[in-house]
Amino acid sequence: MNFIQTRGIDASRPATVTFSEAILAPIASFGGLYIPENLPELGNEFLVKHLNSSYKVLAKDMLNRFEIDIDSEVIDEALALYDEFDDKNNPVPVVKVKENLYIAELYHGPTRAFKDMALQPFGVVLSSIAQKRDENYLILAATSGDTGPAALETFKNRANVQVACLYPDGGTSDVQRLQMVTEDAKNVKVIGIHGVFDDAQNALKSLLASDEFNAALKAKNISLSAANSVNFGRIIFQIIYHIHSYLELVRQEGITMGEKVYLNVPSGNFGNALGAYYASKMCVPVEKIIISSNENNVLTKLIKTGKYDLRDCEVVGTTAPAMDILKSSNIERILFDMFGPERTRELMQNLEKENFYALNADELTQLQINFDADFCNGHEGKMYIKDTFENDKYLMDPHTATCMKSYETCCDAKIKTIAYSTAEWTKFSPVIANALSGEIDVEDIEALESISKMAQLQIPEVVKGLFSKEVTQNTLVDKEDIQKEILNFI
């Protein structure tokens, strides 16, 4: 299958590209994104066929229907990484939490957050394309905490790929920082910067635009690529677990085949939610996709009012920091799917120029047929964490907790909900300890131990071991010195 472009085509690129090409250079004409020319129509037949399939068999068949230009052995190697998740037979357990509420746990991979779901297989795919073409790629990542560790984990020691990962010093949790700075593979470089996440992100953007930087890479025969969720190579792996979770509900006799469900997704850059949207178009019977946010609630406003408004709007730091985002990139793919390339280009150019766009009444209606949304502040989030732990014996992280509010405000109680848990409690333990017992200002290690006692849960070895692992990545620089550090590295 070929890939087309959300903002139509300019003269700078071919009208369609292959999957490999869309992965290697994910930015399309007019600054748009790549999307599949048409989504495979899988239908009820596909669900019935895979009712008793393993995750990998389901995944392989779905990927085959996309007819992507990746060798079958490479796909097998990529999917085999799900065998390393906690339960080899089921990388995404779905747990019944309340009468009509099920939680699909996306965090059972090596870095304990949902980024592994897509980045684990993506690393194999990208590296294999680079090897096949005999090209070398540098992946630049700016992280507020979860993408960095997951990107390092997937690309470490892979051929033809190097990673430089920027994080704001002091802006991540201890666990997240240790996951990065204890990484000792030769092909990865971790750079702490004095500043906040936006500084890291802006530094990355100016590097991408820097002639000097690009010339230096070219001289070394290295091309740049991106591992964030504008890359369709990540999105494609994020459709699978929505189909899997639906089938799990049927298997657990929570629903009968064909019954509609809500999919409730804690959202930031909208990759996870986009996967849900594609899954619903391809085969999963969905009542609505519910978009859950924290105080950075631009998506709630978009879905409630049709206005994407960033004027006088600044990112605020929250207890669910992986969702502290204002420009949610994958909304663009929804705009394209609903309104086509001309309108998408118009809206996105408005956003870039005026920090604002407004859908018309018909467009808003169409958006609301598919989506509903609400946001949850940090205080409410902690109440939901405590309440769900005490009443339902289920421990959740602050990102997942945002779904509890929208579950109450957006959902018809007769219809079952699948909410997605995007991080393990171990990644955000100080907030959770505070929610459960009021402890304040505790370090990660103390919080981990106290929650472990309270909830009778083991701290996984991959997390516990971090605190005694040698720190090998000591680079800490000012913004101005990032370019020099990266050039030294490559």
Shortest distance, CB of residue 476 to ligand PLP, whole angstroms? 23
Q: Residues for the chain: how many in total?
A: 490
Q: Which of 266, 341, 381, 430 binds ligand PLP (CB under 6 A)?
A: 266
| Rounded Cα–Cα distance for residues 488 and 485 (Å) | 5
Task: Choose between 32 and 268: whose C-beta lies nearer to ligand PLP.
Answer: 268
Q: Which stretch binds ligand PLP (CB under 6 A): 85-93, 263-271, 409-417, 450-458?
A: 263-271
Q: Which of 225, 245, 272, 473 binds ligand PLP (CB under 6 A)?
A: 272
| Rounded Cα–Cα distance for residues 91 and 78 (Å) | 14
Q: Which of residues 320-339 bind ligand PLP (CB under 6 A)?
A: 322-323
| Rounded Cα–Cα distance for residues 486 and 490 (Å) | 6
**Rounded (5°) CA angle 291-45-366:** 35
Task: Choose between 9 and 196: whose C-beta lies nearer to ligand PLP.
Answer: 196
| Rounded Cα–Cα distance for residues 65 and 312 (Å) | 44
- What is the C-alpha R_g of the chain? 21
List, in order, residues 6 or more apart from 454 with CB less than 8 Å away.
436, 437
**Alpha helix (H) ranges present in 114-270?**
115-133, 147-155, 174-181, 197-209, 211-219, 232-235, 237-251
Task: Choose between 213 and 262: whose C-beta lies nearer to ligand PLP.
Answer: 262
- 417 strand-pairing partners: 101, 262
Shortest distance, CB of residue 134 to ligand PLP, whole angstroms? 32
Tokens (6 digits) for 417: 């909900």
Q: Which stretch binds ligand PLP (CB under 6 A): 112-120, 369-377, 380-388, 432-440?
A: 112-120
**For residues 266 and 291, is the Cβ–Cβ distance under 8 A?**
no
Shortest distance, CB of residue 321 to ligand PLP, whole angstroms? 9
Q: Which stretch binds ligand PLP (CB under 6 A): 40-48, 77-85, 111-119, 475-483?
A: 111-119
269 lies in the site for ligand PLP, by CB under 6 A: yes
Task: Choose between 47 and 303: whose C-beta lies nearer to ligand PLP.
Answer: 303
Shortest distance, CB of residue 322 to ligand PLP, whole angstroms? 3
113 lies in the site for ligand PLP, by CB under 6 A: yes
Tokens (6 digits) for 327: 């420009």
Q: Which of 105, 116, 146, 153 binds ligand PLP (CB under 6 A)?
A: 146
SS3 content of the chain, % helix, strand, coil (to 5): 50, 15, 35
172 lies in the site for ligand PLP, by CB under 6 A: no
Shortest distance, CB of residue 397 to ligand PLP, whole angstroms? 7
267 lies in the site for ligand PLP, by CB under 6 A: yes
Task: Choose between 148 and 195: whose C-beta lies nearer to ligand PLP.
Answer: 148
* x/- letters, 59..98, toward ligand PLP (CB under 6 A): ----------------------------------------
| Rounded Cα–Cα distance for residues 448 and 217 (Å) | 42
Task: Choose between 29 and 402: whose C-beta lies nearer to ligand PLP.
Answer: 402
Shortest distance, CB of residue 58 to ligand PLP, whole angstroms? 21
378 lies in the site for ligand PLP, by CB under 6 A: no
| Rounded Cα–Cα distance for residues 395 and 425 (Å) | 7
Q: Which of 422, 426, 429, 473 binds ligand PLP (CB under 6 A)?
A: 422
403 lies in the site for ligand PLP, by CB under 6 A: no
Question: How many residues interact with ligand PLP (rule CB under 6 A)?
Answer: 18
Task: Choose between 17 and 240: whose C-beta lies nearer to ligand PLP.
Answer: 240
DSSP 245-310: HHHHHHHTTSS-TT--EEEEEE-SSSHHHHHHHHHHHHT--EEEEEEEE-S--HHHHHHHHSEEE-
Q: Which of residues 446-475 bind ligand PLP (CB under 6 A)?
A: none
381 lies in the site for ligand PLP, by CB under 6 A: no
| Rounded Cα–Cα distance for residues 256 and 231 (Å) | 34
Q: Residue 394 in 3-state DSSP?
A: coil
Tokens (6 digits) for 196: 């906040």
- 162 strand-pairing partners: 138
Q: Which of 229, 296, 318, 388 binds ligand PLP (CB under 6 A)?
A: 229
Q: Which of 3, 46, 262, 270 binds ligand PLP (CB under 6 A)?
A: 270
- DSSP classification of residue 2: -
399 lies in the site for ligand PLP, by CB under 6 A: yes
End-to-end CA distance of the chain: 34
| Rounded Cα–Cα distance for residues 453 and 460 (Å) | 14
Task: Choose between 187 and 400: whose C-beta lies nearer to ligand PLP.
Answer: 400
Q: List contacts with ligand PLP (CB under 6 A).
A: 113-115, 146, 229, 266-273, 322-323, 399, 422-423
